[in-house]
Amino acid sequence: MMRDSFLQWVKRELLPLEEREGLDADRGYPHEIVRRVRRQSAELGFYSHHMPTEVGGGGFSMLDSVILREAAGAS
């Protein structure tokens, strides 16, 4: 479920953003885009997923974190 939600967000938001803005990891990303993506991912509960909830993270298990990182490779 969590992986599916994340992949849907990647396909709906990140992939079109990469194409529209001509983004390339080798050239880096504009700060405004990074802030926007971080804000969106935080609202969805994906940002800092590996951090404990006590400090504002998602509190995901190691396995869940690995699953999200693997799914992030789609972008």
Please list the pLDDT of the chain residue by residue as tens digits (75 residues): 778 888 899 999 999 999 999 988 888 899 999 999 999 988 888 888 888 888 888 888 889 888 888 888 765
Q: Does the predicted model carry a pTM greater than 0.95?
A: no
Return the bridge partners of 28, or none.
24
pLDDT number for residue 47: 83
pLDDT number for residue 35: 95
First to last CA, the chain: 19
pLDDT number for residue 75: 59
pLDDT number for residue 32: 94
